[in-house]
Structures are given as structure tokens and as C-alpha cells.
Amino acid sequence: MTSQLSSKDKAWSARFSEPVSALVQRYTASVFFDKRMALFDIQGSLAHAAMLAKQGIISAADLADIERGMAQIRQEIEGGGFEWQLALEDVHLNIEKRLIELVGDAGKRLHTGRSRNDQVATDIRLYLRSAIDDILQLIRTLQSALVDLAEREHATILPGFTHMQVAQPVTFGHHMLAYVEMFGRDAERLADCRRRVNRLPLGAAALAGATFALDRYEVARLLGFEDVCHNSLDAVSDRDFAIEFCSAAALSMTHISRFSEELVIWMSPRVGFIDLADRFCTGSSIMPQKKNPDVPELARGKTGRVNGHLVALLTLMKGQPLAYNKDNQEDKEPLFDTVDTLTDTLRIFADMCSGITLKPQAMRAAALQGFATATDLADYLVKKGMPFRDAHEIVAHAVRDCEQAGCDLADLPLEKLQTYSSLIGADVFDVLSLEGSVAARNLVGGTAPAQVLQAVARWRQKLAAA
């Protein structure tokens, strides 16, 4: 519900001789997207009011009225009965006007010692801090789902690729743990970003600081901030903390996009490594046989959307002089959409990972198509005393002969293999098998099933402690 206000109802109306036009009101208003910060605005206002009362700047009676009014406003907002007014521009003035309606002069005193500039900067930080906490939990949930999948398939073999060509056999569990590592770094970046988000701008006022005896550290304590912003100009004018978050979010979405690309490829009937649960797929309006991996495809697309928001915020800030400028109103929609997109994507991917069904025989057949154990044969010769470059050359000849004969290295009889080197013995077939290849890589970070299980245990311990 919206209503129009006269110019005298504006917080700054006395300075102007004519009202803002309806078009300008719509163009400059932010209330219909920044109202999502309403509860954080109330939280910040209550801390500010408590500090004002503690410092003797407002009375205890004023504080009680403000707390009573804010409690009712919170109830109205949560119940859906709050009347948001376009003419009041933003979430801050909407709440302030309603507070004044409820408690009179005490509501008018709340804005003592602050500006909308430091108020909005505080609200955004409170909102983003909460969003980061939620996202960190979602990342851990996704990691846990991948760890479960890695443990279940710790010995399942699929081809590992470089340049999209079969390179060496790996275990599916090892492959899943690669993404667990990526998401782990994403969580580290977000946790580090949270430290810089968690600094209090309130008290910077419009740009130069306040003339009242504010206790900024008390407000920081009440709101759970680790520190205050130590320069008033910087506090109200920079959004680098939001840009940093969007950068971390773009990286996380990039990791999701890479995973999505593999899921799409693996689900293709031409590859046929996996199947996704039906609830994550859609059909075709014309081709009844189709089962399309819409969720991973859309995640790839939404990654571009998040990348775009990062560029938008960088572009928004690059030409702004100190201090606050109206440009900064444009920080919220990209930030909010980034939070929403990453949050929804992480939540759905955690669920989707539990619905991945493997087709091990197709994976195994693919691993046997590209001479995936050729490096193992070269390593075998090196362990027998041959220089690696010589071993590489010999195996390359053997691979070329196998290509012409249409067989794998493991299909060659011992007598044929010994024509390439007299160092080759009957034990060569242990290293030419797919199982032998992955088992041989039994070192920290390797693909051996034993290493996968150790990595699973390590990650379970880390996630439990997070």
C-alpha cells in the first residue's frame, strides 16, 4: 500500500519551495527494495537510542517510548500490516514517520547525532553480516553433501581429463573432494570479508562526525560490531565491503558453475556417467524423451548475473568523490540479488548432490578409451631404472601401436610389451589396471581410495568444528 505526502512531510521539506514531482519520487525512492533491511534498521536505531539515553542526550522516558514504538513497528512489519509509503523514499524515513505517529516527540529525538548516511551504512552492514552467516552455513551443508558422496564413491573410477581429453583415472570421491576444497576457500574468503563488514559506521553522521557526546564503542558493543569505522568520511562513502562480498560470491558461483558444467556433460546420453533426480530436471514441450538438467544449466547462467553485479558495484564506486553521493543508493539491488542468488543456489545444490546417481560401468568404459594408464607404464619403467624422458618416449610408441591395433595397453600380451623394453616384467599388469593406477597414488592429496577416505575424515572433523 502506498500514499502520497505533501512536501511538508519530508524530512528536509523546509529547504524547498515546491514538492518533488511524482516521477522524481519514483525515480529516487528505494523503499520497495531496501525495506528488506527494516528489522536491521530497527536494531540499529534501538542501539543508538540506548546509547543516547546512557549519555544523557535523550531521557529515559524517551528511550522507553522509542522502544515501545519500535516493538509495535516490528510487529506490524513481521505481520505484513506496515504501510510502506513511496513518498517517504526509503526504509529509514518510513519507520521514523511511523515511530513519530506512535510516540510523538520521542520519535523525533531518535535521529539526534546521526544522518541517513551513517544509518544506511550501518543497516547494510548489519544485513550483510547476517547474510554471510547464513551463506557460510549453506556452504558447510553443501560441503557435507559432497563429502557424503565422496565417501560413498571413494573407490569408483572415472576418467580424469585435461584439455577435455582422457588423462588419468581418478576416483569419483576424489573428484567430489576437489569441489569441497574450492568451497572451503570460498568460506574462508567470506569469513574474512565478514571481519571488514563488522565495523560500525554509526556516529560518522553525514560526513564529518557528530557534535554530541556519542559513545560509538557502546553502540558497537550493543550491535556486536568488532570495531568502529575510524574516519567519518570513509565510514559513509565507501562500499568496498559490499564489493568484497560480491567478489567472494562471484568466485563461489564460479565454482558452482564449473561443477554445473561437469554435471551437464556427465548427464548427456553421449557420456552417461550420472543421472540427476527428476525433481532437478525438466522435460521438453515437444520431445517426450527429454530430461533436461535445468538446475545446473541455470546455475551457469546465474553465475553471469552475479559476475555482473560485481562489475556494477565496481563501476558505481569508481568515479565518486568523498563523501556520500546518491549514486550509492544503487548499491542495494545488486547486493541483495547477489545474496539471494548465491543463497538459493547453495541450498538447491546441497539437495541436488544427494540425488546424484552414478553409472560406474560407463565411467569405467570411458577411462579405458584414452590410454589412461600410460603414465603409470612410464612410471613403472622409471622405477626399474630408466630415465623418465626415455620411458615417456617408449610408452608413446606403445600407445601409437595400440591406436593402430585398436586396443588398450593392458590388452597387449607380455611378449609384445617386452619388445618396447626388457625391463618390463609380468608385474606390469598391476600398474596397467585402472584400480592399480588409482591405488598407486597413495599420498596426501592423491586419488587413491585410502587417501579419499582420509580426506573425508579430515573434512568431517573440520565441518563439525565450524
User: Active site residue: 3, 13, 268, 284, which one?
Assistant: 284
Dig out the grid coordinates for 366 from the structure: 570411458
Q: How far apart are CA 438 and CA 376, in angstroms?
A: 10
Closest Cα partner for 214 from 225, 201, 224?
Answer: 201
For residue 357, the cross-strand partners are: 275
Residue keyed to cell 550493543: 222
Dig out the grid coordinates for 245 from the structure: 562480498
Is the bond preceding residue 323 a cis peptide, omega within 30 degrees? yes
Known active-site residue 163: yes
CB burial class (10 A; 0-12, 13-18, 19+) of residue 196? middle
User: Active site residue: 163, 174, 255, 268, which one?
Assistant: 163
φ and ψ at residue 200, rounded to 5 degrees: -90, 120
For residue 162, the cross-strand partners are: 165
Known active-site residue 284: yes
Q: How far apart are CA 309 and CA 244, in angstroms?
A: 12
| DSSP-assigned states of every residue in 177-221 | HHHHHHHHHHHHHHHHHHHHHSEE-TT-TTTT--SS---HHHHHH
Q: Which residues are catalytic?
A: 163, 284
